[in-house]
Chains A and B, each alone.
Chain A
């Protein structure tokens, strides 16, 4: 009995090996057949590996070290990660703030991008071009958001304070950007103002590549209004672009940081605007602890990958 199972096992092993060998042979011949495909990808992928993949991998390795950018990195094992969760109270605040920003701005701005791309797409060409410019312009220049400090200046020279005081709604100026009662809300508003960017334009391009004859066919088949058309005809055609938008939205929603830092100060009042990105900046650019900063960046990336998996599953079940 036992010898029989033993021979069975070796047989299985042998057959598995044969399968594997055939697999390799098949793969190699497939690769040879698709030589052109690899050639077409080669220039891009070479540069991509050199300047994106390799730096990301080295950053991951650095996250296990102590590295002050002057001395040779010193291996620390998991110490940076232990320190993040057990000793760094501010990191926990940063996680909380990042989640607040990500879950309030991410989905809302995704929806805004889609809805306004949909609305604007139906305008006449000239108005459409103008409206696209108006909605997209905030994302076009990276520093234009600084103008918000003119609106929400903390003294009475700020537009918001001046007009609220003129109307006797308030009698002393409000510190919009440093008062913890207001600053989070205002930054969220500004982030939303800034967020009709990549996804919005990609959706616009998506609407432009739609097949219009399907809408007419739909009208004959009994589609009555614009919502039914959107759900049954437009969205199924745009699934690929919606997925692209979701990934872009995740990466920008979790990366909130430069805007609150420029407007709300660094460090912000009671760390109310301290996000994970700000924390990375703090350790990487201010304290020169690259190892620690890399550990934070790695965790942030993991959080985004996790969210991406969940959202892709949601998009797929909605088929």
Chain B
């Protein structure tokens, strides 16, 4: 399968072009990776090496002290650390799954059905994407207070489920699907729900897998500070920033904390990306 797709992309390619492309990928890739590499290295540096002169690109005596300290600090918290982990994992799973499903469900009629209000809804969604002010947190708070959702899991979950990005992305990917195929399914007696779930969703698998990456990381990195004040409902990033705020002596611990926080999104990314490859088989279904 893998070999097959490789051969397919070899049409229209020259050796010189391949060399140029590889060279650019290596150079720019190195630039992209350098700061990441430094973050990893710094997390394994003992405190005296972080503030050494001249600064070094590598670590001489790698240590796990920073990580040990991080776990010590987290075990002395008032609320058990596992509670924060549970909160983050729970909220992330719920938001990722429900966002992908609800956004795709709304995107399907928007992309493939003609009904009054279709264009208007889409324009609205697109415009909402362009409003980035940070001034909506306050009205959001008022609405949540009105619904009695402040300081509950709902306040963390519901606003992220309805982010405009997902609807826009899914609609753009669903639009090119051939009408003939959907029409045929309808004639065969499939309901709209079934067409959406069993025909459309498998075709746009690369899109919703990508969307799940966006949803996962944006909620994983969210602090939810605006709507949560009970300690036992707070999320991991909030707690880790509190630890990082402990001053210059915690520089190493802070580096370790951001590294630990990065692990779940990276794992999710790797799993999802390897799944995207399998969808190649479906690409012939478009017309």
Q: Which positions in A face B, CB cutoff 8 Å? A: 27, 30-31, 33-34, 36-38, 40-41, 43-45, 47-48, 50-56, 58-59, 62, 69, 116, 119-125, 129, 131-148, 150-151, 156-159, 162-163, 166, 193, 196, 198, 201-202, 204-206, 208-213, 215-216, 218-219, 223-226, 228-229, 237, 240-241, 243-244, 247-248, 250-251, 254-255, 277, 280-281, 284-285, 290, 293-294, 296-298, 300-301, 304-305, 308
Contacts and interface: CB of A to CB of B under 8 A. Distances in A.
B176 interface: yes
A158 B113 CA distance: 57
Contact of A216 (B8, B206, B279): B8
A48 B162 contact: yes
Given A147-B39, A212-B283, A59 B113 contact: no
B113 A301 contact: no
A33 B175 CA distance: 21
Given A150-B42, A300-B132, A51 B221 contact: no
A284 B226 CA distance: 14
Interface of B: 2, 5-6, 8-9, 11-14, 17, 21, 24-25, 28-29, 31-33, 35-36, 38-39, 42, 51, 53-55, 57, 102-103, 105-106, 108-110, 113-116, 121, 124-140, 142-143, 158-159, 161-165, 167-169, 172-173, 175-176, 191-193, 196, 203-204, 206-207, 209-210, 213-214, 217, 221, 258, 261-262, 265-266, 269-270, 273-274, 276-277, 279-280, 283-284, 286
27 contacts: A30-B115, A34-B113, A44-B167, A48-B125, A48-B164, A54-B139, A55-B137, A123-B25, A129-B270, A133-B266, A133-B273, A140-B265, A141-B217, A157-B55, A162-B55, A209-B286, A210-B283, A215-B8, A219-B12, A223-B12, A229-B12, A277-B133, A280-B135, A290-B138, A293-B133, A304-B132, A308-B130
Nearest to B112: A37
A228 B132 contact: no
Given A44-B105, A209-B283, A251-B132, A147 B38 contact: yes
A250 B127 CA distance: 12
B12 A225 contact: yes
Task: Give the interface SS of chain B, mostly helix, strand, loop or mixed.
Answer: helix
A288 B262 CA distance: 33
B32 A196 contact: yes
A28 B4 CA distance: 51
Contacts of B35: 138, 144-145, 147-148, 151, 193
A13 B25 CA distance: 66
Given A55-B138, A141-B258, A198-B214, 20 more contacts: A34-B114, A40-B106, A41-B121, A44-B162, A147-B35, A147-B39, A156-B54, A201-B214, A205-B209, A208-B206, A210-B283, A211-B286, A213-B284, A218-B11, A225-B12, A225-B14, A237-B176, A293-B133, A294-B135, A301-B130
Contacts of A119: 21, 24-25
B262 A144 contact: yes
Interface centre among B54, B143, B164 (most CB of A within 10 A): B54
Contact of B11 (A62, A137, A216, A277): A216
Given A119-B24, A131-B25, A141-B261, A55 B143 contact: yes
Given A140-B217, A225-B14, A51 B133 contact: no
Interface centre among B105, B172, B276, B286 (most CB of A within 10 A): B172
A31 B168 contact: no
A209 to B, nearest CB: 5
B121 A244 contact: no
Nearest to B127: A305
Contacts of A116: 25, 28
B33 A134 contact: yes
Given A41-B110, A43-B102, A211-B283, A225 B36 contact: no
A8 to B, nearest CB: 32
A41 B122 CA distance: 11
A211 B132 CA distance: 35
Nearest to A254: B132
Contact of A132 (B12, B17, B193, B273): B273
Interface centre among A34, A124, A251 (most CB of B within 10 A): A34
